[in-house]
């Protein structure tokens, strides 16, 4: 194995410096901010862990954490199931494949704000397309404005609708790389469709699944537009998620120290969720390298 020489370090230095400038330094600055009381019109004041103690004692923070945990899991696993199902369908036999793939990717091309506003119109009480149809067939309307559980469900459904194309794309690409010979060999050995999927395809696309899960967990933790534009965290702040809690602290209450502490709590939570997947991927890399 070649040893890295100073010239090598010099060559990778710009990339490392850029990473340090755009990720490490802001992170350190954020950490420092989370230890200060800082608002407009006042000089920053060092308060130690007071901001962290504040959020830990704030019931709105815990409710937001719980909502985030529930919604993120529904969204990530919902997208995984739907994305996998669609990928299997499209990788198998489907007419007008290119058209179908384009249609499946379309929601990903729509900006979040437009998508949420569109869904909101469709769910408008009495006159929204969805509620109107539900009423026409004698069912009750979807009451996202007065029922927090329904509101979180609608937000999760919107997030799944918007982001499933990402998971679909990763899994579809992975399925296309599964060697045909392996599938044919399994069939020759008498495996049915379910057994081929379970023992051949699934095992080969596990790394892709882990990557999709990891990416979506991290991005879903920042879930904001779906909730903010649908309910602004209401009614009674019962549909707030962590990103909305952070936004409220920063841009409504101008409590930047508390907002920074919330940001760090989100980072820790993301890492806690991502760690098992990262460990699993690292182990696979080491195993494959040996």
Tell me the three state secondary structure of residue 86. helix
Whose Cβ is closer to another protein: residue 40's or residue 194's? 40
In the complex, least distance from residue 248 CB atom to another protein, rounded to whole angstroms? 8
Q: Which is nearer to another protein, 121 or 282 (CB)?
A: 121
Distance in angstroms (rounded) separating the CA atoms of residues 90 and 99: 11
How many Å apart are CA 256 and CA 35, to the nearest integer? 10
C-alpha angle with apex 42: 222 to 266, nearest 5 degrees? Answer: 15
- Please list, in sequence order, all residues whose beta carbon lies within 8 angstroms of the beta carbon of residue 282, skipping any fewer than 6 positions away: none
- Neighbour count for residue 96 (Cβ, 10 Å): 9
Write down the least CB distance from residue 60 to another protein, Å.
9
Output the smallest distance, CB 67 to another protein, in A: 15
Indicate the residue among 94 and 129 with the shorter CB distance to another protein: 129
Smallest distance, another protein to C-beta of residue 151, A: 9
Instruction: For the CB of residue 234, give the shortest distance to another protein in the complex, in Å.
Output: 5
The least distance separating another protein from the CB of residue 129, rounded to whole angstroms, comes to 15
Residue 254's region, left for phi above 0, alpha for psi from -120 to 50, else beta, is: left
Name which of 30 and 105 has its Cβ closer to another protein: 30
CB 174 within 8 A of CB 80: no
- Binding stretches for another protein (CB under 8 A): 39-42, 124-127, 141, 143-146, 230-232, 234-237, 248, 251-254
- Of residues 15 and 286, the one with the C-beta less far from another protein: 15
* Shortest distance, position 52 Cβ to another protein, whole Å: 19
Choice between 141 and 280, CB closer to another protein: 141
Q: Which is nearer to another protein, 37 or 187 (CB)?
A: 37
Burial degree of 127 (CB within 10 A; 0-12, 13-18, 19+): exposed
Q: If we measure between CA atoms, which residue out of 182, 212, 190, 275 comes closest to residue 83? A: 212
Reduce the DSSP state of residue 137 to 3 states and report it: coil
For the chain, give the number of residues.
Answer: 290
User: What sections of 110-179 are H helices per DSSP?
Assistant: 112-122, 129-136, 148-176
Token readout for 161 is 């609708």
- Identify whether the C-beta of residue 265 lies closer than 8 Å to the C-beta of residue 51: no
By beta-carbon proximity to another protein, the closer residue of 67 and 231 is 231
Q: In whole angstroms, how close is the CB of 273 to another protein at the nearest point?
A: 29
Measured between its terminal Cα atoms, the distance across the chain in Å is 14
């Amino acid at each position: 194995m070649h040893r890295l020489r100073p010239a090598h370090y010099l060559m990778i230095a710009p990339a490392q410096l850029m990473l340090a400038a755009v990720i490490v330094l802001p992170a350190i600055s954020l950490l420092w901010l989370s230890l200060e009381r800082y608002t407009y019109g006042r000089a920053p004041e060092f308060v130690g862990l007071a901001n962290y103690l504040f959020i830990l004692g704030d019931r709105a923070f815990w409710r937001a954490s719980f909502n985030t945990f529930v919604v993120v899991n529904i969204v990530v696993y919902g997208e995984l199931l739907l994305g996998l199902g669609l990928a299997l369908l499209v990788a198998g036999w489907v007419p007008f494949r290119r058209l179908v793939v384009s249609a499946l990717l379309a929601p990903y091309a729509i900006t979040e704000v437009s998508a949420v506003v569109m869904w909101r119109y469709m769910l408008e009480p009495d006159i929204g397309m969805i509620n109107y149809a539900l009423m026409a067939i004698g069912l009750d309307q979807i009451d996202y404005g007065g029922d927090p559980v329904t509101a979180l469900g609608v937000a999760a459904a919107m997030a799944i609708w918007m982001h499933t194309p990402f998971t679909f794309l990763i899994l579809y690409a992975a399925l296309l790389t599964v060697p045909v010979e392996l599938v044919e060999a399994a069939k020759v050995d008498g495996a049915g469709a379910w057994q081929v999927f379970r023992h051949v395809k699934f095992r080969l696309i596990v790394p892709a699944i882990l990557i999709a899960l990891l990416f979506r967990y991290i991005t879903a933790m920042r879930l904001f537009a779906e909730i903010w534009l649908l309910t602004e965290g209401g009614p009674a702040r019962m549909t707030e998620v962590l990103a909305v809690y952070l936004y409220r602290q920063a841009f409504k209450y101008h409590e930047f120290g508390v907002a920074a502490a919330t940001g760090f709590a989100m980072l820790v939570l993301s890492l806690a969720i991502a760690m098992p997947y990262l460990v699993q991927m690292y182990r696979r890399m080491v195993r494959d390298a040996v």
